[in-house]
Chains A and B, each alone.
Chain A
Amino acid sequence: MKGTNIGEFEELILLTVAALMEEAYSVGICDEIEQVSGRKVKLGVIHPVLNRLENKGFLISKLGDATKERGGRRKRYYQVTHSGKVTLKNVKVQRDVLWGKIDDMIFDGI
């Protein structure tokens, strides 16, 4: 499973993209992450990560239609690829396995 490790932030982004389905574009992803995690993520942070993920093959992007709000500039919509989904699933599975091993008592009262 070499090369398919993704960082925490990358995982976050991938999940957000999957969640947003058709509406996943850079600004939208920004907003969603802020909403869910409370972190104020800047565009300048997200944009390169999106690019990196696409280079790694976990995302695929395409340009949408021209819209009026952005001065006629098209949005770039991202979707999770098959390998992206596989990676996410793997991560989830890994987490679940670890969680399963933890005794309920440790987290009592949190």
Chain B
Amino acid sequence: MKTNEPHNPPNWANKLLEFYCQSSLLEDLQGDLYEHYTRNISKGKFKADAIYWLDVLKFLRIYTVQKPKILNNMNTFILLLNYWKTSLRSIKRNKLFSAINIVGLAISMSVGLLMITFIDELYSYDDFHSNSDRLYRIIDTYQRTDNDPMDLASTSIFVGKQMEESFSEVEHAVTLRRNFSGDAKFGDKVIPIHGLWSSEKFFKVLSYELIQGNINTVLQTPYSLVLTERTAAKLIGGGEYIGKIIRLNEKDNYTITGIVKNPPKNSHMQFEALASFSTYENTVKDKEKFLSWTSVWMYYVYVILKENTDPKQFQNNLDRLAKSENTKHEHHNVTIKSQAITEIVPSNDLYNNIGPNFGKEPLYRLGLLTLMIIFSAAFNYTNLSIARSIRRSKEVGIRKVIGATRPQVFTQFICESLIISLAAVILSFGLFLFLKPEFLNLDEEIQDVVLLNFRAVHALYFIGSAIVVGVLSGLLPAILLSKIKIISVLQNIGSIKLMSGLPLRKILIVAQFALSMGFIISTFIIYRQYQYSINYDLGFSTKNILNIEVQGNDHEILKSYFEQIPEVKFISKSRIIPSTGDKLVAYGKFKDSTDSALLLYNFIDEHYLQNLRFEIIAGMNFSVKANMEKEAFTIVNETLLKRFAIKSPLDGINESIVLDGIKLKIIGVVSDFHHNNLDNKIEPFLFRYKPEEFHVLNLKVESTDMLGTMTKLSNAWEKADNIHPFKAEFFDSQVQSSYLSYTIMIKVIGFLAFLAISIATFGLLGMAVYVTESRLKEISIRKVLGASENNLIYLLSRGFVFLLVISAVIAIPLTYLIFDQVVLAEVAYRAPIGAFEILSGALIIFIIGIGTIGLQTLSAVTVNPAENLKEE
């Protein structure tokens, strides 16, 4: 009989039933259906199955369907509410620790937010260009015979023309030249403007918005001018702009053919005006040099490649072009490559950048430092939480008794750390608003590059990082606490020792202190270097010298005005200001026509060497009649003689140097001086005499009322020039400003040092609390047995002092090495890293550390032993 064979109802129907049915009704309902099934088998399996299926579907009713899973999660949700409550309570109960944690995390996260907005803004440069995936800049590497190769952001017109004419991959190309600048006059109004020369296809390649004018013809004809909105408004005011004539530098008339929207902040090139390149081309005299493959200093080429161009193929073609051109030029080697437009900022150092930039390396370093600080604070939280865990152990035990599972306890403590982390984030946002202007003011260059406006997406990053920090820092305590066994809590076995945490925490303490020590020592070292640099004997005098920019006026007239002011004792003139980073370079040859060296120079008048107290060791100074018609003489420094293997200064007199095609006879030699920052070594240098090139007046000023004198000077200036603002700066402060990078480093690292120390100290405090609390009974018993307070303090602190010593041992050599080998290695003139700097850092940490431990242990050992032993 068939009924003996076990027939089973259709499996899927069963599964469905099990899925939707309430567990309380499931069993008997399923049994009923099964009973019917066995009865129905006699009608045939197919029919029985069908009936079963129908029944299962029919029973899908309100009263059978189990409560939706959401209500199961309601449980978790309700628990979360509970965690919120208990977390808040525990925070309130331990106000001090919570405050320390929140403040520590907040400070470190505000630095993090600063970094996030900074990095985000840097990486968003030039993303407004449509076709930014096909838009490239052509950059090159220039090398001349044996000199060092230089990476340049600029390239040659030759390359620009090649892009337009011979490269099939290029859809559009534009060539720019910088330094289109001068005084623009419209009607009565004269303002200085600064911009670029550009070939026709500017607006086809780059996405700057042309609001007036025809995109195809706007830069076609010579003397066409496109102004930015702002400049046009400043110069002309209102009304129609197109077709108006602007007079530039009293020489040329330009017609406005278009108005462009102001370039956005995140554009790597900034300009107030664009002039048609054809204007410039027409004025060039030396056509051959103009179009030369090796004239790579002033021009910038941007291209849009056709869709689906293989960048490798493009690069191969570029290499081929370079190869064939280099064979035509003996002494030069130029290689070109393409750079995606979004890669321009941030990027590594290229000379001749068209606008402000920020390198990738300093960015990575800053990022690393920030991360270290944040980790420091996060680990601090971990430390402190573990320290407090003893007090929480009873709570955990009872929760477990009531039925909390281990994951639930774990979640509870993660919630707590998340809440603290989020509270810290809110606080840190306030701190960020405070930090932002401080950061921007560190260096003018920073302001050129970023605005640091807070965007909505930053809030997202921020909350995200807060969650990450919260989870990270709460992970360890949560794990440890959730491991607590109920038995040990209820039996009150001594005090709970979370042994597994201990060595890890010691490592954390050592790391924190090593970091703090490192920062302090760094600050001292940098400060020492800075003081050294600004006080170093430069080989000439900068005292009381005021440098005034001539700004295109007649320097003789200016000199006569200034001479009338009694406080002005002496006036000399020059082109650039040495020792501040300004450079003029050219290639010069001596005798052997193939050996050309890169030489630095300055144009000076006959009073210069005396004014700034240079030491002439051979020959004589320039005289007034020195270069009547064309330049013929030069004064050189000792290094130049060495470079050209001239044995002694006297041998050098009357020898000739050929510089940029001009023959100059050496009439004098000065002793070596620091024409550049002390970070660089002294290079071959020569002085030239050319009155047209005098851009700066150096005034020796002796005055008891500096403010009054400045007013007199500025009034004298206005008599001669009432268009340009009066620009004057003391040589001393200019020298100091050139070491701006040091001041910045001091500020930043000093700040980080302060942060690191505070965080580390709190960590140490927590650690001390933990140790003393876990050894309370031991302390009391020892006291009863007769130990003195001093003995006890020694006993408890022993371990800590050892840790501090270890961090010193780690930090000191490491910091020394970093500075000696990496940071200061490039600096030519270094202050020695002395014992003072190193030991002072260690000393400060020791004092702070021992003070903290001492205070904590003191409060522990003075407790009445009876208090602790009572509970037993």
- Which residues of A are at the interface with B, using a C-beta cutoff of 8 A? 25-27, 43-44, 47-48, 51, 63, 69-71, 73-76
Contact = CB atoms under 8 A, between A and B. Distances in A.
A69 B35 CA distance: 7
Interface string B9-38: 000000000000000010111111111101
Nearest to A51: B63
Contact of A73 (B28, B36, B55, B63): B28
B36 A43 contact: yes
A53 to B, nearest CB: 12
B59 interface: yes
A26 B27 contact: no
15 contacts: A25-B32, A26-B28, A27-B32, A43-B32, A43-B55, A51-B25, A51-B63, A69-B35, A70-B32, A70-B34, A71-B31, A73-B28, A73-B30, A74-B28, A75-B31
Given A43-B55, A51-B63, A76 B36 contact: no
* Interface SS of B by simple majority: helix
A70 B14 CA distance: 14
Interface in B54-107: 55, 58-59, 61, 63
Instruction: Specify which of B28, B58, B63 lies most central, judged by the most chain A CB atoms within 10 Å of its CB.
Output: B28
Given A69-B38, A74-B31, 9 more contacts: A26-B28, A47-B59, A63-B27, A63-B28, A69-B35, A70-B31, A70-B35, A71-B30, A71-B31
B28 A48 contact: no
Contacts of B30: 71, 73
Contact of A44 (B27, B28, B55, B63): B55
A74 B29 contact: no
B101 to A, nearest CB: 54
Tell me what chain A mostly uses at the interface: helix, strand, loop, or mixed.
mixed
A48 B63 contact: yes
Nearest to B28: A76
Contacts of B63: 48, 51
Contacts of A71: 30-31, 34
Given A74-B27, A75-B28, A27 B35 contact: yes
Contacts of B58: 44
Contact of B32 (A26, A48, A51, A63): A26
A108 to B, nearest CB: 44
A75 B34 CA distance: 11
A27 B28 CA distance: 10
B472 to A, nearest CB: 50
Contacts of B38: 69
Contacts of A44: 55, 58-59
Nearest to B8: A71
A70 to B, nearest CB: 4
A-B complex: 8 closest residue pairs judged by Cβ atoms:
A73-B31, A76-B28, A70-B31, A44-B58, A26-B32, A70-B34, A27-B35, A73-B27
Contacts of B59: 44, 47
A48 B31 CA distance: 16
B240 to A, nearest CB: 85
Nearest to A44: B58
Given A48-B61, A51-B63, A69-B38, A43 B33 contact: yes
Contacts of A70: 31-32, 34-35
B141 to A, nearest CB: 83
Contacts of B61: 48
A17 to B, nearest CB: 15
B27 A27 contact: no
A56 to B, nearest CB: 13
Contacts of A74: 27-28, 31
A63 to B, nearest CB: 7
A92 B534 CA distance: 115
B111 to A, nearest CB: 63
Contacts of A51: 25, 63
A106 to B, nearest CB: 42
A44 to B, nearest CB: 5
Contacts of B33: 43
Nearest to A46: B32
B32 A47 contact: yes
Nearest to A43: B32
B450 to A, nearest CB: 69
Given A43-B55, A44-B58, A47-B59, A27 B36 contact: yes
A76 B36 CA distance: 15
Nearest to A61: B28
B96 to A, nearest CB: 57
A63 B32 CA distance: 13
A63 B647 CA distance: 116
B142 to A, nearest CB: 88
B715 to A, nearest CB: 102
**Residue of A25, A51, A71 contacting most chain B CB atoms (<10 Å):** A71
Interface string B823-866: 00000000000000000000000000000000000000000000
A75 B58 CA distance: 20
A107 B28 CA distance: 45
A98 B204 CA distance: 101
B703 to A, nearest CB: 104
Interface string B495-533: 000000000000000000000000000000000000000
Nearest to B9: A71
A75 B55 CA distance: 18
Nearest to A55: B63
Contacts of B29: 47
A51 B63 CA distance: 8
B735 to A, nearest CB: 94
Contacts of A26: 28, 32
A51 B24 CA distance: 12
A47 B62 CA distance: 13
Nearest to B63: A51
Contacts of A48: 61, 63
Most buried by A among B25, B31, B61: B31
A73 B29 CA distance: 9
B645 to A, nearest CB: 107
B649 to A, nearest CB: 114
A75 to B, nearest CB: 6
B56 to A, nearest CB: 10
Contacts of B36: 27, 43
Contacts of B34: 70-71, 73
Contacts of A47: 29, 32, 59
A71 B31 CA distance: 7
Interface in B296-312: none
- B32, B34, B38, B55: residue with the most chain A Cβ atoms closer than 10 Å: B32
A28 to B, nearest CB: 10
A5 B535 CA distance: 107
A43 B52 CA distance: 11
Contacts of A27: 32, 35-36
A100 to B, nearest CB: 39
B237 to A, nearest CB: 86
Interface string B240-281: 000000000000000000000000000000000000000000
